[in-house]
């Protein structure tokens, strides 16, 4: 990286993905202004699965704190925060940032009022529930009534809407000295909004999860669920509960069935337990034209991952032009991997045009390299590390690189600042292990 354009491009790619490289670049080039890039990542949550990964507020806040333009960036974000109405996850991230700005400023009154006004005066259209957690974090017990008034008004205006109690119950667990529901009940007597909110959360109390006795899987149970179209996903552990005879009977039933949906049910099983009959029955699926609106081909490919066969490897390479759009064929490589295939897989990653295709490919490559312990994983996995916007998958990439002895010190240094909490924990554990190994040698 020599030119300003290249440096900024590298910084932007990192902050969009959520890697720690952005922090390293920021330290290396203190005179470069990254204000625009940080602002853009602050007002848009770029995580691939935003519901599972959640807000990147903590990550973005650290970059802001390290910036010489921190005050300007905070103002820009707060200005956008008060008008955002389009996207729940973007708004939620800005709520998190506002809370962190409040903490950074040691209880900045103006930020506190911005939070209150955003939630009470200008609740997000169609996202009225956004900000509850953050309001409770800043306002504590007073936040309960702030939330009750805003959500209660929304419930009165929208008959089909309802509020759940779990956030209030979580707050109650952490604040045992206050009877939160009693507070709401008292205030509900003279406030129609609080009354509506109190009634809704009382009628929608979180149910206590009761552990049900899990039925042991059997040929009879799986056959029945497939017949009822209720058999979806099974783990390898549960698939191994069946005897070899039961597995054989499932395979015979699969061959006899004509209905594609039913056959998909059997393949859901055989993607976790090796198909016991001749692979020609699975190969025939792959050699026909792709089945539209089904997962039949995908499941057949994944079911073939247990078979080591020269024919499967050769068949895979006849599909080479389709792999960026149909990566399921790569399962044929799982038991047929050869050192040097990393170069071939690099090329497939390069052909992916968007995060959806990259993410789909990532799942398969992770399976391949979890099955094949090889340093050859380094090229493809590093490319995924630098490309993925999914912090959850990136952690799996890092673990496989580490298990194969190809996790570099530079990447280790980066993940200290990663957007994903569990990845940052991985860094701490890895450093702790290193220190213990050094101490044991002394």
Nearest to 303 by CA among 276, 267, 337, 263: 267
What is the model's pLDDT at position 124?
74
What is the model's pLDDT at position 121?
84
pLDDT tier, 209 (very low <50, low <70, confident <90, very high otherwise): low
Please compute the mean of the pLDDT values over residues 308-331 and round it to a whole number.
91
Whole-number Å distance between alpha carbons of 155 and 329: 50
Q: What confidence tens digit (pLDDT) does each residue in 338-385 have?
A: 999 999 999 999 999 899 999 999 999 999 999 999 999 999 999 999
Give the rounded percent of residues in the chain with a pLDDT score beyond 90. 79
Q: Which two tokens stand for residue 163?
A: 């509020």
Query: What sign has the CA pseudo-torsion 310, 314, 319, 324?
Result: positive
What is the model's pLDDT at position 215?
81
Query: Over 70: is that where the pLDDT of 438 sits?
Result: no
Query: Over 90: is that where the pLDDT of 122 sits?
Result: no
Please compute the mean of the pLDDT values over residues 310-321 and round it to a whole number.
92
Give the rounded percent of residues in the chain with a pLDDT score beyond 70. 96
Residues 6+ apart with CB under 8 A from 425: none
Q: Is the pTM of this model over 0.75?
A: yes
What is the model's pLDDT at position 227?
92
Whole-number Å distance between alpha carbons of 91 and 80: 9
Query: Over 70: is that where the pLDDT of 1 sits?
Result: no
Please compute the mean of the pLDDT values over residues 224-229 and round it to a whole number.
92
- Tell which phi-psi region holds residue 140, choosing left (phi > 0), alpha (psi between -120 and 50) or beta: left
Query: What sign has the CA pseudo-torsion 269, 270, 275, 278?
Result: positive
Whole-number Å distance between alpha carbons of 362 and 358: 6
What is the model's pLDDT at position 208?
59
pLDDT tier, 439 (very low <50, low <70, confident <90, very high otherwise): low
What is the model's pLDDT at position 135?
95
What is the model's pLDDT at position 210?
60
pLDDT tier, 53 (very low <50, low <70, confident <90, very high otherwise): very high
Which has the higher per-residue pLDDT, 441 or 250?
Answer: 250
Whole-number Å distance between alpha carbons of 380 and 406: 12
Report residue 313 CA to chain centroid gap: 32
What is the model's pLDDT at position 441?
61
123-132, 214-223, 226-235, 409-418: least confident range: 123-132
pLDDT tier, 408 (very low <50, low <70, confident <90, very high otherwise): very high
Query: Over 90: is that where the pLDDT of 294 sits?
Result: no
Q: What count of Cα atoms within 13 Å lies in the side-chain half-sphere of residue 333? A: 26
Cα angle, residue 155 at apex, residues 152 and 158 outer, rounded to 5°: 155
């Amino acid at each position: 990286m020599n030119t300003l354009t290249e440096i900024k491009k590298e910084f932007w790619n990192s902050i969009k993905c959520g890697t720690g490289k952005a922090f390293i670049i920021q330290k290396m080039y203190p005179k470069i202004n990254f204000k625009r890039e940080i602002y853009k990542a602050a007002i848009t949550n770029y995580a691939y699965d935003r519901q599972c990964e959640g807000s990147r507020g903590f990550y973005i806040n650290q970059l802001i704190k390290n910036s010489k333009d921190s005050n300007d960036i905070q103002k820009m974000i707060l200005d956008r925060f008060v008008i955002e109405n389009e996207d729940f996850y973007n708004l939620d991230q800005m709520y998190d940032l506002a809370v962190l700005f409040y903490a950074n400023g040691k209880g900045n009154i103006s930020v506190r009022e911005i939070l209150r006004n955003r939630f009470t005066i200008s609740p997000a259209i169609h996202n009225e529930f956004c900000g509850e957690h953050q309001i409770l974090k800043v306002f504590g017990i007073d936040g309960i009534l702030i939330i009750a008034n805003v959500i209660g008004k929304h419930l009165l205006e929208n008959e089909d809407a309802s509020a759940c109690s779990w956030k209030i119950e979580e707050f109650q667990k952490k604040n045992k000295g206050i009877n939160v529901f009693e507070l709401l009940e008292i205030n509900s007597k003279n406030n129609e909004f609080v009354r509506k909110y109190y009634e809704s959360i009382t009628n929608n109390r979180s149910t206590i999860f009761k552990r049900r006795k899990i039925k042991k899987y059997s040929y009879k149970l799986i056959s029945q669920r497939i017949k009822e179209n209720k058999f979806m996903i099974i783990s390898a552990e549960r698939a191994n509960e069946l005897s070899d005879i039961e597995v054989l009977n499932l395979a015979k039933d699969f061959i006899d069935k004509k209905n594609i949906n039913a056959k998909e049910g059997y393949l859901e099983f055989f993607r976790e337990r090796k198909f016991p009959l001749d692979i020609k029955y699975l190969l025939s699926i792959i050699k026909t034209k792709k089945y539209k609106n089904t997962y039949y081909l995908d499941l057949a490919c994944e079911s073939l991952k247990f078979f080591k066969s020269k024919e499967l490897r050769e068949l895979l390479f006849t599909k080479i032009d389709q792999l960026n759009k149909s990566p399921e064929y790569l399962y044929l490589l799982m038991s047929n991997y050869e050192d040097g295939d990393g170069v071939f897989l690099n090329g497939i990653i390069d052909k992916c045009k968007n995060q959806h295709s990259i993410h789909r490919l990532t799942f398969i490559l992770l399976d391949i390299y979890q099955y094949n312990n090889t340093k050859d994983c380094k090229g493809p996995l590093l490319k995924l590390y630098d490309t993925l916007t999914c912090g959850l998958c990136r952690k799996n990439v890092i673990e496989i690189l580490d298990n194969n002895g190809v996790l570099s010190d530079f990447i280790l240094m980066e993940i200290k600042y990663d957007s994903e909490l569990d990845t940052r924990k991985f860094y701490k554990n890895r450093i702790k292990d290193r220190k213990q190994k050094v101490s044991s040698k002394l």
